[in-house]
Amino acid sequence: MIDLSSLTHIAFDADDTLWGHEHVFVDAKKRCLELLSPYMKPGMDLEQELYAFERKNLKIFGYGVKGFTLSMIETAVELSGGKIPGSAIQQIIDLGKEMLTHDIELLPGVREALTALKPHFKLLLITKGELFAQESKIARSGLAAEFDIIEIVSEKDPVTYQNLLDRHGIDPAGFLMLGNSLRSDVLPIVEIGGRAAHLPYEYTWHHEAVNEEEAAAGYWRPEGGLGELVQAVLKGL
Ligand SMILES: [Mg+2]
């Protein structure tokens, strides 16, 4: 547990912190792998093949569903030696469209947490990803009005966070960030002198997994999740 007094700003990650998201990727991946299975060579780990394209393409496409869809198509073309029919490509594109328009389901306790914190702190939403897709999700979530500041960034590293805080004149010493990802939401914040709480989600994307033993101290993972965190923050007032 960390000291939660003297906070001025509380920031939330969005995907898998405010609403479930990774399960959409997990489902889509499963369906994509089913489509690709006819082209699998013996001993091949399809999921690893797809992940290899995904990782390689991150630098070109950035994060998000559209890039992921293109990586699924590239994997399909590659594994089939260019023989995959247009109808199967269409199925992958349809999968991508479904991923971009799915219903947003708020995670338990999110609305209550925002309502409880809003009178006492400036609230930020800081999410990483593609601008159009993230804006659409924020709008569909119905939560936009709860936040004083909404920022969509393409990377969540210490420099990005520091610039963002500077731009809004926020002192890291009074800043608390909550999120499901140690790599993106917690460790960079600790590094710039802010405070962070880790609220793990059911799934963790390969790219996000970090060795917890490498994780610096200075953040808190409340066993009781968001509800326990909100109570502790309110006590620190
Ligand atoms: Mg997240």
pLDDT digits (tens, 9 = 90+) for 80-136: 999 999 999 999 999 999 999 999 999 999 999 999 999 999 999 999 988 999 999
pLDDT in tens, 201-221: 875 555 655 555 444 468 888
- Quote the pLDDT of residue 29: 87
Shared-domain flag, residues 127 and 15: yes
Residue 9 near residue 122, CB atoms below 8 Å: yes
**166: confidence class by pLDDT, cuts 50, 70, 90:** very high
**Domain shared by 109 and 207, yes or no:** yes
**Rounded distance, CA 211 to CA 121, Å?**
32
Q: What is the pLDDT of residue 35?
A: 87
What is the overall mean pLDDT for the chain?
Answer: 91
Q: How far is the CA of 74 from the centre of ligand 1 (A)?
A: 26
Q: What is the pLDDT of residue 85?
A: 94
Q: What is the mean pLDDT of the segment spanning 24-42? A: 88
End of a domain among 68, 101, 134?
101
Q: Name the CA dihedral angle for 217, 220, 223, 224, rounded to a multiple of 10 degrees.
A: 180
8 Å CB contact between 196 and 179:
yes
Instruction: Read off the pLDDT of each residue in 174-193 and give the average, rounded to a whole number.
Output: 96
Out of 40, 70, 101, pick the residue that ends a domain.
101
- pLDDT above 90 for 180: yes
State residue 197's pLDDT score.
Answer: 94
In angstroms, what CA-CA distances link 59 with 63, 67, 186, 189, 211? 9, 10, 22, 23, 23
Identify whether residues 95 and 180 lie together within a single domain. no
> Does residue 67 sit in the same domain as residue 110?
no
The model's pLDDT over 46-59, given as tens digits with 9 standing for 90+, comes to 899 999 999 999 99
Do 197 and 132 fall within a single domain? yes
> Is residue 2 included in any domain, yes or no?
no
Per-residue pLDDT, 63: 83
Query: Is 176 a member of any domain?
Result: yes
Q: How far away, in angstroms, is 155 Cα from ligand 1 center?
A: 12
Domain that holds residue 108: 9-20+104-235
For residue 127, report the distance from its CA to the centre of ligand 1, in Å: 7
pLDDT at 62 exceeding the cut of 90? no
Same domain for 88 and 108, yes or no, is no
Beta strands in the chain (DSSP E): 9-12, 122-128, 149-153, 175-179, 195-198, 219-220
Query: Which CATH number goes with the domain that contains 54?
Result: 1.10.150.240
Q: How far is the CA of 102 from the centre of ligand 1 (A)?
A: 17
Cα of 40 from ligand 1 centre, angstroms: 32
Does pLDDT of 143 surpass 80?
Answer: yes
Tokens 């490509």 found at = 89
Q: Two tokens at 107?
A: 């995670």
Q: Which residues make up the environment of ion ligand 1, defined by Cβ < 5 Å? A: 13, 15-16, 180
Distance CA 28, CA 38 (A): 17
What pLDDT was estimated at residue 131? 92
Q: Please indicate, yes or no, whether the overall pTM of this predicted structure exceeds 0.75.
A: yes
3-class state of residue 228 by DSSP? helix
**97 and 108 share a domain?**
no
